[in-house]
Amino acid sequence: MGQPVGMKQQAWTIGALLDWTAQHFTTRGSEYPRLDAEVLLAHALECRRIDLYTRYQETASEQGRARFRELVRQRLEGCPVAYLVGRKEFFSLKFEVTPAVLIPRPESEFVVLECLHLARELAEPRILDIGTGSGNLAVTVAHQQPRAQVTAVDLSPDALAVASRNAVHHGVADRIRFLSGDLLDPLPRDERFDFILSNPPYIAHEDLDRLPVGVRNYEPLLALDGGPGGFTVFGRLVAQAVDYLVPGGHLIIEIGAPQHEPARQRILAQGQYELADTIYDGSRHPRVLRARKVG
């Protein structure tokens, strides 16, 4: 980070660093310039974000400034803030994230909310999370529903390691079983669940090059690429899940807005699901589909 013209060295207070960096991010087109500056500076100074404002007039140490300068450089190259600081909040819980896992998004909280709403009447709901990534769905459900028994599956051993650490951190490791493998392949054929949750890869392969650089160049392709139209993993999951749900059990699956109507038609075409109304996210985009196994 260069020295702004006319600013004396002793003027590099925490407040000055925040203001200058937020403005710099703004000129570079950052979506959340002030928030990015706050999160990165708090990380560099090893303090809470709120402490930045109680220390607003304090002069930042050279060591802290150096760490901050490097974080800002990487952010300007496109690296997501969550990877730079190694964590992301989801459902008011802090999750460790690394480049091995997709960064949790607020939109996925609608999957959790729907599951918790339906599971509240069950004594010990059996819940399966397919493609667990950081474990944000599995860990959050286990944390919010103390009676739940949760299984989480992922194809990536590195992702499972992150998810396992998150389960330990939030005190639910004793109620989550982690399995490595492709979709439902690692499960015994006779096992059944009340809920199957998933945020599968749903970006159409042909659209990957149009993703923002922070997603395209940094987040794991395995968690993004849904194949042609975005339905390769979705279709396999919908077909397999019906054999692992109890009668009346629910498949709750996140989708991208472009997949909305085709995804509903694919679920109905399976012939063994009763499809509920689509759940829309806070931006009024179609985000979550829920299908109940009939028969």
Average the pLDDT over 242-250 and give the result: 98
276 and 291 Cβ atoms separated by less than 8 Å? yes
Rounded CA separation 251/146 (Å): 21
Query: Which residue type sits at 125?
Result: P
> Please, are residues 154 and 163 in contact by the beta-carbon 8 Å criterion?
yes
Q: Which residues contact 166 (CB under 8 A, 6 or more apart)?
A: 95, 96, 134, 135, 136, 139
Beta carbons within 8 Å of 121's beta carbon, 6+ residues apart: none
Inform me whether the pLDDT recorded for 137 exceeds 90: yes
Q: Using one digit for the tens of pLDDT, what is the confidence trace for 158-217? A: 999 999 999 999 999 999 999 999 999 999 999 999 999 999 999 999 999 999 999 999
Share of the chain above pLDDT 70, in %: 96
Per-residue confidence (pLDDT) for residue 8, from 0 to 100: 45
As given in the structure block, the two tokens for residue 27 are 């000129």
The Cα 108–Cα 195 span in angstroms is 16
pLDDT of residue 11: 67
The per-residue pLDDT of the chain, averaged, comes to 95
Distance CA 19, CA 33 (A): 10
**Is residue 177 within 8 Å of 207, Cβ to Cβ?**
no
Q: Does residue 7 register a pLDDT over 70?
A: no
According to CATH, the topology of domain 98-293 is: Rossmann fold (3.40.50)
What pTM, to 2 d.p., does this model score? 0.91
Could you tell me the fold of the domain covering 9-77? Helicase, Ruva Protein; domain 3 (1.10.8)
Hey, where are the domains in the chain? 9-77, 98-293
Q: Calculate the alpha carbon distances from 233 to 159, 195, 286 in Å.
A: 18, 18, 19
* Cα distance between residue 211 and residue 269, in whole Å: 30
